[in-house]
Amino acid sequence: MKETVKNIPTVRLASGEEIPAIGLGTFGSDKYTAEQVGDAVYGAVCCGYRMLDCASVYQNEDRIGNVLERLFQDGVAAREDLFITGKVWNDMHGEGQVIASCRKSLEDLRISSFDLYLVHWPFPNYHAPGCSGDSRNPDSRPFRTEEFMQVWRQCEQLVEMGLTRYIGMSNMTIPKLEAVLPLCNVKPAALELECHPGFQQPELFDYALAHHIQPIGYCPLGSPSRPERDRTAEDVADTAMPEIVRIAKRHNVHPALICLKWAVQRGVIPIPFSVKEPQYISNLKAVTEDPLTDEEMECIRLADKNCRLVKGQVFLWEGANGWEDLWDTDGRIAGS
């Protein structure tokens, strides 16, 4: 009999609905197979996870759909117990394509609607799954508000059509949000952003909260298994940061669990990935017990290294200066 974790904390969306304060990531990082990720989803829901972060580009939705069907048949959970997120990939931004992509994902996952559907990246720049870090697509171009809004209007239609309950954005910056939020008929319920102790994005986090948008933190453990294309020599390993290691020793847990406690207590929904049962169970359990003190929270806040891991360089366009352009680091939308 698997251990079931109880009393999982929740967060309240702007709509008033309470959703789980932690979810399971499903990106195998080009390292774990769809079968392994599917098995982890089965085990994770059995032990109490109720939120799943999916995406068509992870190339495992069909396998996860198979698992969801089994979970429902076996009575482990009902569809309405789960909060399932999907994402449209960059090569499906054209007219009608967002809706087609959402339908395909729903079909693969064997569900009739998403709880949350995200625009994975705010531009149509495509790279093939598993490509190398220096590959470039000659069709890549900078963000354009009109182009993004064409995608967002389709997301709004998805809500009208009952294909998702909420819509949201991912990999945005404050200048891009400033450009698009006034134009949205349906406001984003959530914003997925890279977030871990070594890369806390305090301005974007505060901006999201001020606009009643729930932050969801990806790579919450610093993504130790991330693909080669997302690695550079300067990267900081969160679980080796002295502050995290010291606090972990005090709580007698793995440093990864300190990253998760910190995220949940800060108000970010972390979506840690693991296919290893002891890891995903301890990740869930960590946010239900033995919280960090105010002093520990402050110590981690001060330890921010502003070290982005997913730089996104494969999405760069001709003429771009470098990956910083994807993130509008000088406060303006780069290239437009």
Residues marked active site are found at: 58
Is 96 or 132 the residue whose CB approaches ligand NAP more closely? 132
| CA gap 242, 215 in Å, rounded | 26
- Closer residue to ligand NAP in complex, CB, 273/295: 273
* Residue number, 31 or 211, with CB nearest to ligand NAP: 31
Give the x-and-dash track for 280-319 against ligand NAP (CB under 6 A): --xx--------------------------x---------
Helix, coil or strand: residue 230: helix
The Cα–Cα gap between 271 and 22 comes to 6
Is residue 220 within the footprint of ligand NAP (CB under 6 A)?
yes
Q: Can you spell out the DSSP letters for 115-184?
A: EEEEESSSS-----TT--TT---TT-----HHHHHHHHHHHHHHHHTTSEEEEEEES--HHHHHHHGGG-
Which window, 76-84, 89-97, 182-190, 265-273, contacts ligand NAP (CB under 6 A)?
265-273
Applying the rule CB under 6 A, the residues between 61 and 120 that interact with ligand NAP are 120
Residues 164-183 touching ligand NAP, rule: CB under 6 A, are: 170-171
Structure tokens at 63: 């396998």
Phi, psi for 169 (deg, rounded to 5): -125, 165
CB of 279 vs ligand NAP, minimal distance in Å: 4
> In b/e form, how buried is each residue of 196-221, taking b as 16+ CB within 10 angstroms?
bbbbbbeebbebbeeeebbbbbbbbb
Distance of CA 182 to the CA centre of its chain: 24
Interface of this chain with ligand NAP, residues 234 to 253, rule: CB under 6 A: none
Which part of the chain contacts ligand NAP (CB under 6 A), choosing from 144-152, 182-190, 202-210, 220-228? 220-228
Residues 117-156 vs ligand NAP: string with x where CB under 6 A? ---x------------------------------------
E strand or H helix that includes residue 85:
strand 83-88
Give the total residue count for the chain: 336
Choices 11-19, 23-31, 144-152, 324-332 (CB under 6 A): range interacting with ligand NAP: 23-31
The distance in angstroms from the start CA to the end CA of the chain is 56
Which residues are within 8 A (CB) of 248 and not within 5 positions of it... i.e. 6 or more apart? Answer: 254, 255, 257, 258
Which window, 24-32, 64-72, 145-153, 206-214, contacts ligand NAP (CB under 6 A)?
Answer: 24-32
Q: Which residue is nearest to ligand NAP (CB)?
A: 25
Residues of the shown chain interacting with ligand NAP in the complex, contacts defined by CB under 6 A = 25-27, 29, 53, 120, 170-171, 192, 218-226, 254, 256, 271-274, 276, 279, 282-283, 310
